[in-house]
């Protein structure tokens, strides 16, 4: 089928490339000329494992352009995959969704299905349909469907090609059948529902996972007080199939482009409709507090950080991505700098983006070991494989004072026992040198 995709961020670009992988002719549209030029050269503007390889493999079925008029003119299906960032009040900013919808309405010269793939508040598809009907060319029928994405950064390609489910929200049979054809080659269960339910499925899913993370983090904090081990607790919980083991890894909170804004957006939507989602409010509050966990732990060893050399291992909100949005490192590093600490940081892919925040205020290192040299303190924010591969000797032999505060529980406690390292992690007992 001939498909166009509005937006080339994580959602739009991954969707377009994966649809091309399934044999569709796909045109990806973006207003950013530099991004388009980069993609026309076969280079991905985002760090996502496997994405660039698929771009090369399917280059004969992929077109990248800023010319939305030609891209939308004769497309059979047009996906809207633009960003919906949060506003100051926590609500979703739908400006780019409506902008894309308006461009589609003015450009489409044949009947087609407009698919909202961006995460949008319940009822947005109806507003998109109203806008499109007002501005569509005479005689052109444009149906609107909801088809939320369920991809995670770092595994976005796999999550799209081998989806856990495909949710299709439509109000008419014709749009439903078109989307069935789009996803014909995908081996995943398909749920057919109405648009509002599809929109809610996306928010309810993301917010439940965020809630699960905040829950285990609260349990971890209590484990430290009462002397329990959160990893054993999570393992015992995970054996129950009704609970499951995923998203029960204690740490310093979630980040990224989805969970933070989606919890805030659903909380805002509930409040706007004179409703209260107490669990979501608690999820947001717990996560914000958890981001300060490493700094609070570090205060046990130093009254302030002035004059200290602090090694920071990992900058991104999780491994497998260069995304810094809502990353806990962006909460802690400003505190260290305000205290006049010397910060030496390492991250395998996040450095370039982090330099946009701190071009010269921190030192960027070529390896974890280099970051550890003569450090008085080490804070671990991201569980990159290179960090998990470090041994107690790497900390003991390189640091001036081997105090390791691990926000991701990278190492078994037994491996740190008796190694001459102070090892303080999340929800577990502290190893004293």
**pLDDT tens, position by position, 317-327:** 999 999 999 99
DSSP 164: S
Task: Give domain status of residue 380, yes or no.
Answer: yes
| 146 and 16 fall within a common domain | yes
227: left (phi over 0), alpha (psi -120 to 50) or beta: left
The pLDDT of 388-395, averaged and rounded, is 98
SS3 state at 116: strand
Q: Is the pLDDT of residue 54 over 90?
A: yes
The answer to whether residues 38 and 117 belong to one domain is: yes
Q: What is the pLDDT of residues 262-282, one digit of tens each?
A: 999 999 999 999 999 999 999
Q: Quick one: CA dihedral 354, 357, 360, 363, positive or negative?
A: negative
Of 40, 93, 99, give the one whose Cα is nearest residue 65: 40
Clarify whether 258 is annotated catalytic: yes
Whether residues 280 and 307 fall in one domain: no
Q: Which of 158, 193, 228 is the last residue of a domain?
A: 193
CB-based contact 347:386 (threshold 8 Å)? no
Average pLDDT, the chain: 96
User: Mean pLDDT throughout 374-381?
Assistant: 98
The CATH number covering residue 100 comes to: 3.40.50.720
Residue 236 and residue 137 share a domain:
no
Residue ranges of E strands in 285-412: 309-313, 342-346, 363-364, 377-380, 403-406
300 located within any domain: yes
Q: Looking at the structure, tell me whether residues 33 and 157 fall in a common domain.
A: yes
89 and 141 fall within a common domain: yes
71 and 86 part of one domain: yes
Q: Are residues 297 and 391 in the same domain?
A: yes
| Overall number of domains in the chain | 3
Q: Grade residue 328 by pLDDT with cuts at 50, 70 and 90.
A: very high
Active-site choice (18, 112, 258, 410): 258
The residue count of the chain comes to 433
Residues 16 and 95 in one domain: yes
CATH code assigned at 263: 1.10.1040.10
Percent of the chain whose pLDDT exceeds 90: 98
Quick one: pLDDT band at residue 433, thresholds 50, 70, 90? confident
Residue 232 lies in a domain: yes
Are residues 284 and 215 located together in one domain of the fold? yes
Domain boundary among 145, 171, 193: 193
CA atoms within 13 A on the CB side of 100: 30
Nearest to 186 by CA among 205, 168, 160, 167: 160
Assess if residue 312 is contained within a domain. Answer: yes
- Does 432 map to a domain? no
Please state, in angstroms and rounded to a whole number, the distance separating the CA atoms of residues 401 and 389.
20
The pLDDT confidence band at residue 24, using thresholds 50, 70 and 90, is: very high
Instruction: Compute the distance between CA of residue 290 and CA of residue 284 in angstroms, rounded to an integer.
Output: 10
In the predicted model, what is the mean pLDDT of residues 49-73? Answer: 97
What are the pLDDT digits (tens) for 134-151?
A: 999 999 999 999 999 999
Would 429 be classed as within a structural domain?
Answer: no
Say yes or no: 228 and 317 in one domain. no
* pTM of the predicted protein model: 0.93
For 157-168, what is the mean pLDDT? Answer: 96
Q: Could you say which DSSP state residue 360 is in?
A: S
Residue 80 lies in a domain: yes
Residue 430 lies in a domain: no
As separate numbers, helices (DSSP H) first and strands (DSSP E) second, the chain gives 19, 14
Q: Which range marks the domain in which residue 94 is found?
A: 2-193
Alpha-carbon span 416 to 369, nearest angstrom = 17
Tokens for 99, please give them: 């902008």
Boundary of a domain, candidates 147, 168, 193: 193
- Give residue-wise pLDDT tens across range 212-250: 999 999 999 999 999 999 999 999 999 999 999 999 999
In this prediction, residue 99 carries a pLDDT of 97
pLDDT level of residue 257 (50, 70, 90 thresholds) = confident
Task: Using the predicted structure, report yes or no on whether residue 195 has a pLDDT greater than 90.
Answer: yes
Cα 39 → chain centroid: 21
Q: The tokens of 76 are what?
A: 């059979």
Residues 282, 303 within the same domain? no
């Amino acid at each position: 089928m001939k498909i166009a995709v509005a937006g080339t961020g994580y959602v739009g670009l991954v969707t377009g490339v994966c649809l091309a992988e399934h044999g569709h002719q796909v045109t990806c549209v973006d207003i950013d000329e530099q991004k388009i030029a980069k993609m026309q050269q076969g280079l991905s503007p985002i760090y996502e494992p496997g994405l660039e390889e698929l771009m090369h493999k399917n280059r004969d079925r992929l077109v990248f352009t800023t010319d939305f008029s030609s891209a939308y003119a004769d497309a059979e299906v047009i996906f809207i995959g633009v960003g919906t960032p949060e506003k100051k009040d926590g609500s979703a900013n739908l400006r780019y969704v409506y902008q894309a919808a308006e461009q589609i309405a003015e450009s489409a010269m044949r009947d087609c299905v407009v698919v909202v793939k961006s995460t949008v508040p319940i009822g947005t598809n109806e507003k998109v349909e109203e806008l499109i009907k007002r501005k569509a060319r005479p005689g052109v029928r444009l149906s609107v469907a909801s088809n939320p994405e369920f991809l995670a950064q770092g595994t976005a390609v796999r999550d799209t090609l081998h989806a856990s489910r495909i949710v299709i929200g439509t109000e008419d049979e014709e749009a439903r059948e078109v989307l069935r054809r789009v996803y014909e080659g995908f081996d995943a269960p398909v749920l057919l529902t109405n648009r509002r339910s599809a929109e809610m499925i996306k928010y309810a899913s993301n917010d439940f996972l965020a809630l699960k993370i905040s829950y285990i983090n609260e349990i971890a904090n209590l484990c430290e007080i009462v002397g329990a081990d959160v990893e054993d607790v999570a393992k015992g919980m995970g054996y129950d199939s009704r609970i499951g083991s995923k998203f029960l890894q204690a740490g310093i909170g979630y980040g990224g482009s989805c969970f933070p804004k989606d919890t805030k957006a659903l909380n805002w939507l509930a409040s706007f409709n004179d409703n209260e989602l107490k669990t979501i409010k608690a999820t947001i509050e717990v996560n914000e507090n958890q981001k300060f966990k490493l700094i609070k732990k570090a205060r046990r060893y130093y009254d302030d950080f002035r004059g200290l050399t602090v090694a920071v291992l990992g900058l991104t909100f999780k491994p497998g991505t260069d995304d810094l949005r809502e990353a806990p490192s962006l909460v802690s590093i400003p505190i260290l700098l305000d205290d006049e600490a010397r910060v030496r940081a390492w991250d395998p892919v996040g450095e370039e983006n982090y330099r946009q925040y701190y071009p010269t205020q921190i030192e960027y290192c070529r390896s974890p070991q280099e970051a550890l040299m003569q450090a008085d303190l080490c804070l671990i924010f991201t569980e990159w494989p290179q960090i998990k591969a470090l041994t107690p000797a790497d900390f003991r032999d390189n640091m001036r004072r081997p105090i390791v505060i691990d926000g991701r529980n990278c190492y078994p406690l037994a491996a740190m026992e008796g190694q001459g390292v102070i090892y303080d992690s999340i929800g577990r007992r502290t190893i004293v040198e």
